[in-house]
């Protein structure tokens, strides 16, 4: 296996986060090799969702975005959530 990158993210829990992250990796030619996620419901309430956390490791070989440009390329997805 070649070089990898790791995305770490947190946001209010909501539908579509996992799908959007996976789609970002797939559309840029990446392959997810490890992913973990969970939702912390300790602060959740009737009008406030839990806090979602995700760690995604993916291969950089053949990835369309250079490592130094990942944050900028991922920003439109981050802005959605």
What confidence tens digit (pLDDT) does each residue in 17-64 have? 999 999 999 999 999 999 999 999 987 777 888 999 999 999 999 999
Q: Which domain holds residue 4?
A: 1-12+38-58
Residue 78 lies in a domain: no
pLDDT given for residue 43 in this prediction: 79
- Distance in angstroms (rounded) separating the CA atoms of residues 74 and 68: 11
Residue 5 lies in a domain: yes
78 neighbors 29 (Cβ within 8 angstroms): no
pLDDT given for residue 60 in this prediction: 94
Mean per-residue pLDDT, 6-19: 96
> How many independent structural domains does the chain possess?
1
**E-only strand ranges, the chain:** 4-12, 32-40, 51-59
């Amino acid at each position: 296996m070649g070089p990898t990158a790791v995305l770490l993210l947190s946001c209010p829990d909501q539908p579509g986060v996992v799908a959007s992250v996976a789609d970002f990796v797939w559309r840029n030619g990446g392959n997810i090799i490890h992913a973990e996620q969970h939702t912390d419901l300790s602060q959740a309430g009737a009008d406030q969702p839990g806090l979602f956390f995700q760690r995604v490791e993916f291969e950089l070989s053949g990835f369309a975005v250079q490592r130094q440009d990942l944050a900028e390329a991922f920003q439109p997805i981050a802005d959605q959530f």
